[in-house]
Amino acid sequence: MIIKPSASIRQNYNEIADLCRETGKPIYLTKNGEGDLVVMDLSSFVKREKMLALREKLLMVEEERLAGRTGVTPEDLEQELDRILDEAEHGKR
């Protein structure tokens, strides 16, 4: 976890931006010693959002399975997961 005071974003924007890009990790900014904001590079944010969306879809499918609802064939599921993973890895086409 990378923690910086909020003043560092004003004083050292380029340094913070480079650190975000280099590490791919969020930087937690504090104000008066308390957590205030989280900053991360756009690429990492987009990847995180896609992974969260995929996780949400998988949880929904698992809930439906546990409820006894039938869905797609394993082959169809594999094709859909391949499509989603490709989309997450290479961006939406």
Q: Where are the domains of the chain?
A: 2-40, 45-90
Q: Which helix (H) or strand (E) holds 29?
A: strand 27-31
Rounded to two decimals, the pTM is 0.62
| pLDDT above 60 for 82 | yes
Amino acid residing at 7: A
The identity of residue 86, as a single letter, is D
CATH superfamily of 2-40: YefM-like domain (3.40.1620.10)
Q: How does pLDDT run across 14-58, given as a tens digit for each residue?
A: 999 999 999 999 999 999 999 999 999 999 999 999 999 999 999
For residues 38 and 26, is the Cβ–Cβ distance under 8 A?
yes
